[in-house]
Amino acid sequence: MSEYASHDKSGVSVGLVEKKHLTFATEPPGLVLESGASLSPVTIAYETLGRLNPERSNAVLILHALSGDSHVAGYYSTDDAKPGWWDNMVGPGKGIDTDKYFVICSNILGSCMGSTGPSSVNPGTGSPYGLDFPVVTIADMVRAQKALIDHLGIPKLLAVVGGSIGGMQVLEWCISYPEMVAAAIPLATTTRHSALAIAFNEVARQSIMADPNWRNGMYYDGRKPDLGLAVARMIGHITYLSDEAMRLKFGRRLQDRDAFSFNFNVDFQVENYLRYQGTKFVERFDANSFLYITKAADYFDLEERNGCCSAVDAFARTRAKFLVVSFTSDWLYPTYQSRAMVKAMKKNNLDVSFCEIEADWGHDAFLLPSERLTSLIRGFLERVASEAGVKSHAL
């Protein structure tokens, strides 16, 4: 057993995990996308935690947000400084208990963290795709995840869980594959972007494309558009916080000095924080992937696709039990959007639970440790599993 691993129910890490890869769609027509374009082959990076029970009925699929990846919890090695991005929620005895559930998390199509995306090699040219990579949608991401779930031999998911863009994928799963989802937990998300959300994404994209190193997306053999991507991340990060979060964390406190510098160096702590976030982001993320994923989020609209003309029509296709969660300080996807979603679900007589959690930390609140959120998710999963007669692998 790794030094990180334990079956102590106090909620320690799941321990050491391994990134895996599935390559599929190797033969024509490949993976046919919503745009009509196709990709071949397609590789999806994924990780699994816990064990699948003999009935293959205890699987929980976790879906990550824009900059996330398949590394949801645990550590790759004993030298890792940090665990996966949702280690506070996923593990033995935690809200999503790996002693009970077989947890799957995959990197989305179009990303740069192991799955096929614009930085991947185009087999037709031997060079990175760049802008030759076709535009993908949330539905395309879910279609690739469906191929992974089929590969793992799982006929039905006990639950799909995700926040933000991950929450969009949760909703898409419920509508595209209703027979495969018993329960769904969309967190801090929406059925479609507001004009404000689209506007912020467009400003972020323009900052990347205005960087002279972007070179129309073909920068992989030279300097990367690091400045443009850093500014894009700074813009995005502002939307993930809240006025109260910034007031509590920074206020107007100065950085390393007692007076203004009277130049354009960093004066305020909030300036330093945003620059740091931008710099760290360019070390791990691809600028083109940022463009593609934000565009997919902007295109997402459950109310006007596949013959639907309202959210009520869209949710008429679903069969899952829902736990919808919003946060009081989330102004990117405010609570009124979650309430509208819940109203549409209830008009279809769906089993829906809803909670707005008091939180100061804005949109990112779903990622931060929260006893309330942990308790809600744990209780909901236990109810769904009990009602479905699902046995954990531990039994």
102 has pLDDT over 90: yes
Banded model confidence at residue 250, pLDDT cuts 50, 70, 90: very high
- The predicted-structure confidence for 146-163, as pLDDT tens digits, reads as follows 999 999 999 999 999 999
Indicate whether 7 belongs to any domain: no
Amino acid in the structure at residue 162: G
Question: Given pLDDT bands bounded at 50, 70 and 90, which one contains residue 395?
Answer: very low
CB 60 within 8 Å of CB 52: no
Confidence tier at 306 by pLDDT (50, 70, 90): low
E strand map for the chain: 20-24, 31-32, 38-39, 42-49, 59-63, 90-91, 96-97, 102-106, 159-163, 183-187, 321-327, 352-357
Of the candidates 317, 321, 316, 328, the one whose C-alpha atom is nearest the C-alpha of residue 372 is 328
Final residue in a domain of this structure, among 253, 268, 293? 293
The answer to whether 344 and 175 are in contact (CB under 8 A) is: no
Query: Is residue 327 helix, strand or coil?
Result: strand
| End residue of a domain, out of 245, 276, 293 | 293
Cis check for the bond before 29: say yes or no (omega within 30 of 0): yes
pLDDT in tens, 159-197: 999 999 999 999 999 999 999 999 999 999 999 999 999
* Percentage, residues of the chain above pLDDT 90: 92
Residue among 112, 99, 13 at smallest CA distance from 70: 112
Whether 120 and 149 map to the same domain: the answer is: yes
Residues 367 and 85: beta-carbon distance below 8 Å: yes
Domain count within the chain: 2
Provide the token pair at 82.
């940090």
**At a CB cut-off of 8 Å and minimum separation 6, what does 323 contact?**
183, 184, 185, 352, 353, 354, 355, 376, 377, 380
> Do 161 and 306 belong together in one domain?
yes
Please, which pLDDT band fits residue 83 given cuts at 50, 70 and 90?
very high
How many helices (H) and strands (E) the chain has is answered by 10, 12
pLDDT the model gives residue 11: 55
45 and 73 in a single domain? The answer is yes
Tell whether 12 is covered by a domain.
no
Query: Of 255, 272, 293, which residue is a domain's last?
Result: 293
Q: Is residue 13 part of a domain?
A: no
Are residues 173 and 210 both part of a single domain? no
Residues 131, 32 share a domain: yes
Name the token pair of 267. Answer: 């004066």
- The domain in which residue 367 lies consists of 20-192+302-388
Q: Are residues 38 and 166 in the same domain?
A: yes
281 with 313, same domain: the answer is no
- Enumerate the active-site residues: 164, 330, 363
pLDDT at 393: 64
The pLDDT of residue 10: 43
Tens digit of pLDDT for each residue in 329-371? 999 999 999 999 999 999 999 999 999 999 999 999 999 999 9
What is the rounded distance in angstroms from the CA atom of residue 303 to the CA atom of residue 344? Answer: 11
pLDDT attached to residue 257: 76
Give the CATH number of the domain where residue 238 resides. Answer: 1.10.1740.110
Over residues 221-249, the mean pLDDT reads 96
- DSSP category for residue 194: -
How high is the pLDDT of residue 5?
36
State residue 107's pLDDT score.
Answer: 98
Q: 3-state DSSP call for residue 42?
A: strand
What would the pLDDT profile of 13-23 be if each residue is shown by its tens digit? 899 999 999 99
Q: How confident is the model at residue 9 (pLDDT cuts 50, 70, 90)?
A: very low
